[in-house]
Amino acid sequence: MNKIVKFQLLIFVFFCLYFIFRLITVSSLHLSVWQSVYWGNIIKDSFFLLISLVLTYCLFNLLRLNQPTGPSIIQGSQLKFGLFFLLGLWWLAVILHLLFDSVKLILPLYQLDFYHWADFLDETISHIFLYIPIIIVSVIGLLLEIERPSQSGLTKLELIIIIGFGLLAGIMFGLNLTEGRLSLQTSFPAMILYLCLFFYLTVKYRLNLKHYPYGLSYAIVYLFASLSFIFWGLTFHSFPEFFNYLK
pLDDT at residue 28, as a whole number: 55
Res 223 pLDDT > 70:
yes
Mean pLDDT comparison of 23-37, 44-58, 87-101, 166-180, highest-scoring range: 166-180
pLDDT digits (tens, 9 = 90+) for 171-207: 999 998 998 788 999 999 999 999 999 999 999 999 9
Crossing angle (nearest 10°) for helices 126-147 and 76-106: 160
pLDDT at residue 118, as a whole number: 84
| Cα dihedral 136, 134, 126, 172 sign | positive
The total domain count for the chain is 1
Q: Are 184 and 241 in contact (CB under 8 A)?
A: no
Helices marked H in 28-125: 33-35, 48-65, 76-106, 113-120
Least confident span in 13-17, 32-36, 41-45, 59-63: 32-36
| Cα dihedral 173, 178, 140, 41 sign | negative
Rg (CA), the chain: 19
- In percent, the amount of the chain with pLDDT more than 70 equals 89
127 CB-contact burial (10 Å; exposed 0-12 / middle 13-18 / buried 19+): buried
Q: What is the mean pLDDT of the chain?
A: 84
HSE, side-chain direction, 13 A CA sphere, residue 189:
5
Please name the amino acid found at residue 92: L
Helices marked H in the chain: 3-27, 33-35, 48-65, 76-106, 113-120, 126-147, 156-176, 187-204, 213-236, 242-246
CA-nearest of 162, 191, 172 to 243 is 172
Q: Are 147 and 68 in contact (CB under 8 A)?
A: yes
- 90 or 227: which leads in pLDDT: 227
- Residue 88 CA from chain centroid, whole number: 15
Quote the domain boundaries for residue 196.
3-246
